[in-house]
Chain A
Amino acid sequence: MALRAQTGPYFGDFGGRFVPESLVAALDELGEAYDLAKLDPAFGAELAELGRSYTGRPSIITEVPRFAKHAGGARIILKREDLNHTGSHKINNVLGQALLTKRIGKQRVIAETGAGQHGVATATAAALFGLDCTIYMGEVDTERQALNVARMRLLGAEVIAVKAGSRTLKDAINEAMRDWVTNVATTNYIFGTVAGPHPFPEMVRDFQKIIGEEARQQVLDLTGALPTAVTACVGGGSNAIGIFHAFLDDEGVGLYGFEAGGEGVDTPRHAATITKGRPGVLHGARSYMLQDDDGQTIESHSISAGLDYPGVGPEHSWLSAIGRAQYRPVTDDAAMQALRLLTRTEGIIPAIESSHALAGTLELGRELGPDATILVNLSGRGDKDMDTAARYFELYDEEAGA
């Protein structure tokens, strides 16, 4: 069977539905609505039209030769999901799930968010479709991504700062699930990544796979050949699966996911789930996760809120297990240096999340040599990260930074 044909609930040994019984009916309802929508040309047409006239699809590709000089001379081509409306790939999935919300007749949506990009995208779709919207965000993340909190509130969403546990993305997911268990009759959960219980990993992937479908043709048109390698950053893994998926059965194309190595994978402060974790059950699915001997989730760390997650989507665990994709860690500092390098060489300011893919690509380019062509998913733009970057590179005037 083609790897691309794999559907949930299981990807090899990974996936499933490890959820409270209270949620099963809602997951079934969502799964059935999605299965019907998939077969309905009207749904596909409506989503495609939103992509064209609202998101700005297809997103362009940009070759970055000045940046590529630092990558051993390999050709580097960026897929510009940063140019989407709301600033990242997250909108692709949200519009699909918002349309499904209308189909199942619910008036309220909830979502978790880390960096705030999924929350902003969900708040945006809620404004567009006239839905009530509540976003759960770890308290730590509300502080380091304050701009996105303001954006969500301006869009009319209620933003709840989650104070439990590590006060980051994983705790925001816990709180969103509690909300869903309580309000399932009226509320749809717009999940932001390819993790969680079935049908989310399959459904979110399907809404994101347009990234790779467009890029595969765009690279063929530009270079006359498939790329040597495709790269992306991996937190939960939605932008990575989105660009990988179209290439899964192209055997000659290497797939590389770059996880957040934080302060180093030999320190306790990282979010390199596949590199350093082992299989377990978190947030409704069996997948790789960071955990101690007792199965307690270990708090992750990354300078990028969007990758600061101790789990990963089950399809990535499967692609790693069967050797189809490789997952490597990239440190906070390497990502920040790559952020500055792309900005200075190409005039494109990437999100810190996406900068992990850029940093990994610099190293990969040196390994693959000058004949290689590498397609990088530039999943988001860096506007939201200006405060972090300004502090990191000491860009504020002294009194302003004090």
Chain B
Amino acid sequence: MTARNTVGPVIARRNAEASGALIGYLPVGFPTLDESVEAAVALVENGVDALELGLPYSDPVMDGPVIQAATQQALANGFRLADGFEAVRRITERVDAPVLIMTYWNPVVQYGVERFADDLAAAGGAGLITPDLIPDEGADWIAASERTGLDRVFLAAPTSTDKRIARVVEASRGFVYAVSTMGITGARADVDRAARTVVDRLTSAGAPASCVGVGISTAAQVREVLEYAEGAIVGSALVKALADGGVRGAAELAAELARGTRAE
């Protein structure tokens, strides 16, 4: 089984249209599996170009309080890894947007890296974003994603050296995830200036696409990021909208954020 609907072409198309891509994050199973699927579909129907589905994990060191609370609730509700594949299948049956899974590494190791890749591809998934897997430790995943054609999105940080930036660019496929502030996920008043520098360095190192995440919560911030990056990733703000206003709340914020991807 090989991946079909990968993220690179969508990002390229959106940038060819002189806008840029909006990527929305939601955790699987929050507030329930069904509602997380409905919310993800609603995001796409309201202007999100690609989805990042988070798998709830017991020790999420890169997540801020909003996402921690949501994933902890999903785990308390009985989230299982199989729900992740089911969510991908149900979403990709209904909308065309590519769906990436964001997961900490241990669940993949325990499921089996090859088996995880096969099942993700079979479900119609685009690939993986791996917040605690650096390319140095990623040989198994690089091999499995080569075999299946899945995207592999590694992270780049403001502190990454030039050598590491080059390594991340070489290892990634789909896009490189540029961490915009030195921080964990969570909406911030200003998207850090450091993001622009990271993206410039990624571009110089040959990255075909960089998407900026961590700290973006408004249409204005989306627009600002898309001036220099190929994509903007919104997480905590969407999760908060879903928690506060249900599927409709998340859909409304998505529509608002999508305004940031169009010329005024």
Contact = CB atoms under 8 A, between A and B. Distances in A.
Interface stretch (B12-20, B22-30, B131-139): B131-139
Contacts of A280: 106, 109-110
Interface stretch (A99-107, A149-157, A291-299): A291-299
A16 B158 CA distance: 22
Interface in A275-307: 280-284, 291, 293-297
A21 B157 contact: yes
A12 interface: no
Contacts of A33: none
B59 to A, nearest CB: 5
A295 B107 contact: yes
A282 B60 CA distance: 10
Interface stretch (A179-187, A199-207, A263-271, A314-322): A179-187
Contact of A21 (B61, B80, B108, B155): B155
A128 interface: no
Interface string B157-186: 111110010001000000000010011100
A174 B137 CA distance: 20
A223 B157 CA distance: 56
A170 interface: yes
A280 B112 CA distance: 11
A381 interface: no
A294 B81 contact: yes
A289 B111 CA distance: 15
B6 interface: no
B164 A24 contact: yes
Nearest to B110: A295
Question: Which among A22, A24, A181 has the greatest number of chain B C-beta atoms within 10 A?
Answer: A22
A344 interface: no
Contacts of B72: 164-165
A294 B80 contact: yes
A31 to B, nearest CB: 13
Nearest to A294: B81
Given A280-B110, A297-B58, A22 B157 contact: yes
Contacts of A26: 159
A43 interface: no
Contacts of A281: 105-106, 109, 132
A25 B159 contact: yes
Interface in B71-111: 72, 75, 80-81, 105-111
Given A185-B182, A294-B110, A297-B58, A17 B136 contact: yes
A4 interface: no
A20 B136 contact: no
A177 B62 CA distance: 8
B155 A291 contact: no
Contact of A295 (B75, B111, B134): B111
A25 B179 CA distance: 14
B105 A283 contact: no
A178 interface: yes
A19 interface: yes
A295 B105 CA distance: 9
A296 B76 CA distance: 12
A100 B81 CA distance: 41
B132 A181 contact: no
B241 to A, nearest CB: 22
Given A22-B155, A165-B72, A17 B183 contact: no
Contacts of B61: 20, 174, 177-178, 181, 283
B75 A296 contact: yes
A295 B109 contact: yes
A22 B194 CA distance: 13
B137 A16 contact: yes
A174 B75 contact: no
Interface string B106-128: 11111100000000000000000
B105 A18 contact: yes
A132 to B, nearest CB: 18
A22 to B, nearest CB: 4
B233 interface: no
Contacts of B158: 22
Nearest to B57: A296
A178 to B, nearest CB: 5
A261 to B, nearest CB: 22
A293 B158 CA distance: 36
Contacts of B157: 20-22, 24-25
Contact of B134 (A17, A184, A282): A17
Given A164-B72, A182-B184, A25 B58 contact: no
A72 to B, nearest CB: 41
B131 A20 contact: yes
Interface of B: 57-62, 64, 68, 72, 75, 80-81, 105-111, 131-134, 136-137, 154-161, 164, 168, 179, 182-184
4 A-B pairs with least C-beta separation: A295-B110, A25-B159, A295-B107, A22-B157
27 contacts: A17-B137, A18-B134, A20-B62, A21-B160, A21-B164, A21-B168, A22-B159, A22-B182, A22-B183, A24-B157, A24-B159, A24-B164, A25-B161, A165-B59, A170-B59, A177-B61, A181-B182, A280-B109, A280-B110, A282-B59, A283-B59, A291-B106, A291-B110, A295-B107, A296-B75, A296-B107, A297-B59
Given A24-B160, A28-B161, A178-B184, 5 more contacts: A17-B137, A24-B134, A165-B72, A181-B184, A185-B182
